[in-house]
Amino acid sequence: MPADKIKHVAIIMDGNGRWAKEKHLPRVMGHHAGARAVERVMRAAKDLGIPYISLYAFSTENWKRAQSEVKGLMGLFRYYMRAKLSELCKENCRVRFAGNIAALPQDIAEILHEVEEKTRIYNERNLIICFNYGGRQEILDAVNKIIAQGTKTPVTAEIFRRSLYLPDVPDPDLIIRTSGEMRLSNFWLWQSSYSEYYFTRQYWPDFDKDSLEEAVRNYYERERRYGKA
Ligand code: FPP
């Protein structure tokens, strides 16, 4: 039985640092090359007709990195969001962010809000950027939202889902992680219950159209049973 048509591919973009190290470049150059890989993959996703792509861009744990790297990453996001906004609109792509945006440096939070506002009207494609995101924090935020609402009835999975950051986004069908690591690292914890996983040794900056096609081909060879026999 072939798998359902793929709707959402979620990506843990790992290996930027190692890619740079192997080339004797500063780590931040790996992130720049990673951003170019994002552009390639967005074009490939369009050709493959994948309506939702989500990217783990910055986790709640990434603040522990060297200050210079965090600064470099923030600068890169700042630049990319500004530079690519008009192209995203032309591509009919809605961009949303999942994570604690309010805790970000104010100018970045403002840019992210602007990108969300300006792309709100588009609906052909969706780019979800997990930024200052942690899956456990998302679950805790949902619990606290429900408590604050004073709900008296038992909380069902459906009620719970409605309290997540982006409740209307379908759960990821496929989660890709590059660079040979085989962990979820606090990504989409609630949403990944029935996701298929695909791991590749390729570093994220080397990931391209062929890589995405290979991952999607592999997905379609699998049988998803959702607990059924
Ligand atoms: C993990 O590689 C990568 C990140 C923490 C940052 C991901 C960010 C980008 C690809 C930048 C562009 C994104 C957008 C949305 C414009 P790592 O540094 O942990 O690599 P390592 O494990 O080899 O050290």
Token couple for 186: 């606090």
Note the pLDDT of residue 174. Answer: 98
Token couple for 214: 């290979």
Query: What DSSP line would sit under 45-81, residue for residue?
Result: HHHTT--EEEEEEEETTGGGS-HHHHHHHHHHHHHHH
Q: Are 120 and 87 in contact (CB under 8 A)?
A: no
State the pLDDT confidence band at 125, using cuts at 50, 70 and 90: very high
Note the pLDDT of residue 1. Answer: 44
Choosing from 4, 14, 168, 210, the catalytic residue is 14
How many residues comprise the chain?
229
Query: Cα(34)–Cα(108) distance, rounded to whole angstroms?
Result: 19
Token couple for 212: 């995405």
Q: Which amino acid residue places its CA nearest to atom 6 of ligand 1?
A: 57
Index of the ligand 1 atom closest to the CA of residue 34: 10
Query: What DSSP line would sit under 123-162, residue for residue?
Result: -SEEEEEEEEE-HHHHHHHHHHHHHHTT--SPPPHHHHHH
Q: Hey, which residues does 54 pair with through a beta bridge?
A: 10, 128
pLDDT tens digits, one per residue of 137-176: 999 999 999 999 998 999 999 999 999 999 999 999 999 9
- The dotted CATH code for 8-134+171-220 is 3.40.1180.10
Query: Cα(127)–Cα(45) distance, rounded to whole angstroms?
Result: 10
pTM for the model stands at 0.95
218 catalytically annotated: no
pLDDT tens digits, one per residue of 17-65: 999 999 999 999 999 999 999 999 999 999 999 999 999 999 999 999 9
Choosing from 62, 100, 186, 218, the catalytic residue is 62
Note the pLDDT of residue 3. Answer: 63
206 catalytically annotated: no
Q: Which amino acid residue places its CA nearest to atom 13 of ligand 1?
A: 35
**Averaged pLDDT for residues 198-203:** 98
Q: What are phi and psi of 126, to 5 degrees?
A: -135, 130
